[in-house]
Amino acid sequence: MALELIPIGTILAVLTNQVIKTAQAAKDVLFEKDSFRVLSKHLFDIEPVLRELQLRELNDSQAVRLALESLEANVKKANTLVEKYRGRSRFYLLIKCRHIVKEVQQVTRDIGQSLAALSLTNAEVLTEISEQVDRLQNEMQRVELQTSRSQLQILDRLDQGIKDQKSDQAFANDILEEIAQAVGVPVEPSEISKELQSFRKEKEEAASRKERAEELFLGQVIELLSRADAARDYEEVKSRYLQRVQVIEKYGSQEYIPPLNAFTCPINGTVMVDPVSLPTGTTCEKAAIEGWLEQGERTDPETGEFLHETSLRSNIRLRQSIEEWRELNYCLGIRSCRAKLLSGFDQLMDEALAQMRDLMREDSVNKDWVSIGGLIDTTIDILGSSHNKDVKKEVLVTLKDAVEGHARNKEQVIESKGWDLIVPCLGRDSSISKAGVTLLYELLQDRSGWNVPTCRKLSEQSSAILFLVTLLRGSARESAEYAKKILNKLIEMDKENISRAARSGWYKPLIDCIVQGQCFIAS
């Protein structure tokens, strides 16, 4: 704003109100409180300086007006920064916290620099508080703000997870819980769903601003977090599955619905995941058309028409149709698996178990859907009834995939007869025992590490320690490592397991205990 015609006193009064308003708003920001609190404190400290200037008669010079104009501009910048982050998703604020801290630090330094310029133009007027002003402007110009170590650790884990393309649900569960706790969001599906919905809006806004790097990064974060249990409302997932099942009934015995031509990208020929439309109306996979344009192409990849404009618009309706098509095929696959599992033929059961694993690896929602569709219970029944060792091994491998990082499926297996069927598998041939101990180890884990109640339940199995010791002393190295980890945990929880392990032929824990004088030989 031009200040030439406005009286100095009016400028100071308006500026003082702006400083107070911004200071109060900064104090009320809910995230990165420490950084914004520092900014707020410094702004409140500026207020008495400005009020002192209002009480004195200032020289109406060009230098004074320029200093005030600079201070006003930087206070407005601070206010814009505060307003920018007040209404943002808390997940987004955590993801961007390093950037936010730098922005707050820079605007604080800029205000300090403006205050220093104002102080120089009014040195005589501010003689009584010159020491206070000097200290304040020096502090502001040299302010150093930092993101908390715990937040940096979360961001480092998240960045590494994206870099490694982590797709397992366990990692998603852990990182989502850490983020939620850091920003004060309950780890409940209803609350997490709200935060992710707000987060998706941030991605859409980044896309509208054509900030492609941020849009891509936010999309990767959303994709990762969406795999977590808490990111899904189980009742909504169940309802969607049942709706899809009703639809596939009209397809009879059909096992696959071919994609519509509109689902296929004209550039790479595959079914699209993130379809975007050109101004010509042609729709392509986003990554494919971006690569097309980056190579210098300026024609429509489908029609050959010259592109006068290359803006891209998300085709949300088509994306939803493609997602529904995929989900209908998932349900057809689950229905096909159930028929093969119930056939009683070993070859068909093997095919079904491999198909189940493919479904769960393709989309983690299928970990819920195979359970809702009854496949986990059916698979457990086969583990108890089949005499084919290859089928038993495939059942154990499939169950491990179904429960890995999935709390609900773990609970289902642990509370079912499957628990009693898994332990005897540890005493079978090497291929079955390896699959069995791997599954058992996964069942004993939860988000925080070992699931203590489940470990106690295993300890109650009379043959469990015997089988584990046998694996420990066997030649299969991987099985022995899993067995040792489980045995050490059981011994840590209950010293009685030391003598049980000794009676099964593993004496080291007992000898260590006797040497240390910490236990006696139980009868």
Q: Are 115 and 173 in the same domain?
A: no
Please check the confidence at residue 523 and state whether its pLDDT lies above 60: no
- Indicate whether 3 belongs to any domain: no
- Indicate whether 395 belongs to any domain: no
The amino acid present at 412, given as its one-letter code, is Q
Query: Please, which residues have CB within 8 angstroms of residue 66's CB and are 6 or more apart in sequence?
Result: 117
Whole-number Å distance between alpha carbons of 386 and 429: 15
pLDDT in tens, 101-150: 899 889 888 888 888 887 776 666 566 556 777 788 788 888 888 788 88
Per-residue DSSP letter, 127 = G
Range(s) of the domain holding residue 238 = 232-390
Please report the pLDDT score of residue 30 as a whole number: 67
Whole-number Å distance between alpha carbons of 275 and 289: 10
Q: Over range 449-473, report the average pLDDT.
A: 93
> Tokens 């006797």 appear where?
514
Whole-number Å distance between alpha carbons of 275 and 282: 10
Q: Any idea what the CATH number is for the domain that residue 261 is in?
A: 3.30.40.10
pLDDT in tens, 55-105: 766 666 777 788 888 888 999 999 998 888 887 888 888 888 888 889 988
Secondary element (H or E) of residue 368: helix 365-372
Mean pLDDT score across all residues of the chain: 88
Contact 104, 32 (CB under 8 A): yes
Q: Are 298 and 238 in the same domain?
A: yes
3-state secondary structure of 302: coil
Domain count for the chain:
4
Q: Are 328 and 377 in the same domain?
A: yes
- Indicate whether 79 belongs to any domain: yes
Q: Are 110 and 163 in the same domain?
A: no
- Band of the pLDDT at 42, cuts 50, 70, 90? confident
Question: Of 3-17, 92-106, 145-159, where does mean pLDDT reach its minimum?
Answer: 3-17
pLDDT in tens, 348-366: 999 999 999 999 999 888 9
Q: Are 374 and 252 in the same domain?
A: yes
Please report the pLDDT score of residue 29 as a whole number: 76
3-state secondary structure of 313: strand
Name the strands in the sheet holding 275-277, side by side, starting at the edge strand that comes first in the sequence.
Answer: 283-285, 275-277, 313-314
- Indicate whether 41 belongs to any domain: yes
pLDDT in tens, 375-410: 999 999 999 999 999 999 999 999 999 999 888 899
Mark which of 231, 250, 280 sits at the end of a domain: 231
Q: Are 185 and 94 in the same domain?
A: no
Please check the confidence at residue 168 and state whether its pLDDT lies above 80: no
Please report the pLDDT score of residue 121 as a whole number: 67
Mark which of 231, 253, 273 sits at the end of a domain: 231
Partners of 449 in the β-ladder: 446
Query: Where would I find the H helices in 128-254?
Result: 130-141, 149-163, 169-183, 189-208, 212-225, 234-248
- Indicate whether 306 belongs to any domain: yes
Q: Over range 489-512, report the average pLDDT.
A: 91
| Of 326, 335, 334, 439, the residue nearest 380 (C-alpha) | 439
C-alpha pair distances (Å), 509 with each of 492, 498, 514, 522: 10, 6, 9, 13
Q: Are 240 and 367 in the same domain?
A: yes
Structural tokens at position 147: 């993101």
Q: Are 366 and 482 in the same domain?
A: no
Q: Are 95 and 67 in the same domain?
A: yes
Please check the confidence at residue 181 and state whether its pLDDT lies above 80: yes
- Indicate whether 405 belongs to any domain: no
Please report the pLDDT score of residue 88 as a whole number: 82
pLDDT in tens, 300-356: 999 999 999 998 988 989 999 999 999 999 999 999 999 999 999 999 999 999 999
Query: Please, which residues have CB within 8 angstroms of residue 219's CB and are 6 or more apart in sequence?
Result: 203, 274
Contact 493, 459 (CB under 8 A): yes
Share of the chain above pLDDT 90, in %: 47
Query: For the chain, how long is the longest CA-to-CA vector?
Result: 100
Q: Are 256 and 164 in the same domain?
A: no
Residues 231-249: b if buried by 16+ CB within 10 A, e if exposed: bbeeeebeebbeebbeebe
Q: Are 240 and 375 in the same domain?
A: yes
Whole-number Å distance between alpha carbons of 202 and 411: 35
Question: Of 103-107, 122-126, 285-289, 459-463, where does mean pLDDT reach its minimum?
Answer: 122-126
203 phi and psi, to 5 degrees?
-65, -45
Q: Burial level of 287, CB count in 10 A (0-12/13-18/19+)?
A: middle
Q: Over range 246-269, report the average pLDDT.
A: 94
Claim: this prediction has a pTM higher than 0.85: no
Please report the pLDDT score of residue 367 as a whole number: 92
Whole-number Å distance between alpha carbons of 194 and 197: 5
Please report the pLDDT score of residue 1 as a whole number: 46
Gyration radius of the chain's alpha carbons: 32
Q: Are 261 and 213 in the same domain?
A: no
If you write DSSP's letter for every residue of 182-207 in order, what string do you get?
A: HHT--S-HHHHHHHHHHHHHHHHHHH
Share of the chain above pLDDT 70, in %: 94
Structural tokens at position 328: 């209908």
- Indicate whether 499 belongs to any domain: yes
Mark which of 102, 129, 147 sits at the end of a domain: 147
Secondary element (H or E) of residue 287: helix 286-294
Whole-number Å distance between alpha carbons of 244 and 232: 17
Q: Give me the count of residues in the chain.
A: 523
- Indicate whether 400 belongs to any domain: no
Contact 156, 164 (CB under 8 A): no
